Amino acid sequence: MQYIASGRARLATEVSGDGSAVVFLHANVCDRRMWRAQLDGMAATHRAVAYDRRGFGETRAEPEDFSALADLVAVLEATADGKPAILVGCSLGGRIALDAALRHPSRVRALVLIAPNVAGAPDPVYSPEIETLMMQSKEAEASGDLGRLNAMKARLWLDGPLAAEGRVTGPARDLLLDMNSIALRSPPFGSDVDIKPFFHRLHEISVPTLVIWGGLDFPYVQDRCRQLVASVPGAQGHEMPDVAHLPNLERPAEISTLIAEFVRRCASNR
């Protein structure tokens, strides 16, 4: 474990293995523990790095306006030996990885994006069924009942909005609820003031890119992933049926294999 300083934050960062860096960026309902299987596998051949963003896991931050992208750069400076890294990001972590590829291209060698957020993308349009679920989530948030809200987040992002509630059980659900419980109870840590729309700039990304998404995820997320594949030159797309927004919690071995094969292809093409 390292605690990397960035502004008034100390970013809890796990580093294992040696070689070129592969840096994992977690989703907004998780922390670095979502990558446990991928970290363990990648550390055999690379320097595997995962950190908790502000408000998540073991990171501690005094309240201040901040840049999530600058926090990533601080992690890269401390762990990548001045060389470009492969970034693996899920959901909001994917947004930060994409932003880095556009604004700090010399630091990024390749991208693996799992259901990524894309700053500046069109607002989602929901079916009536999903709109009802989103309203229930807002009501849970307004009620201040964090247990209810946590359960609703698992319903939406782990099960999938159009799948049966409780579809995913066991350790994956327990871990999601624990990770998101910490995030929901985090003290105030400030606002990210460095979010710049880049949806219109996806064609400028020039590194190998793999986009992965689940067939049970929100339809707008699936559409956004397909558009990302179409917009980024040479990007590869991979849809996983019967999983939702967090496929590496549901099928960790499959995601580990997809990432490892992509990383090997990147190495062979250098």
CATH 3.40.50.1820 residue ranges for the chain: 2-123+188-268
Q: What Cα–Cα distance (Å) separates residue 62 from each residue in 9, 76, 194?
A: 6, 21, 18
Residue 269 has a CB neighbour count (10 Å cut-off) of 8
Enter the DSSP assignment of 168: S
Q: What Cα–Cα distance (Å) separates residue 169 from each residue in 36, 190, 255?
A: 18, 33, 18
Task: Evaluate if pTM is beyond 0.95.
Answer: yes
pLDDT at 270 over 80: no
Third-level CATH fold of 2-123+188-268:
Rossmann fold (3.40.50)
Residue 267 pLDDT level (bands cut at 50, 70, 90): confident
Residue 261, phi then psi, degrees to nearest 5: -65, -40
pLDDT in tens, 40-62: 999 999 999 999 999 999 999 99
What is the dihedral sign for C-alpha 77, 73, 3, 9? positive
pLDDT in tens, 85-109: 999 999 999 999 999 999 999 999 9
pLDDT in tens, 8-34: 999 999 999 999 999 999 999 999 999
73-94: average pLDDT: 98
Q: Which residues pair with 3 in a beta bridge?
A: 12
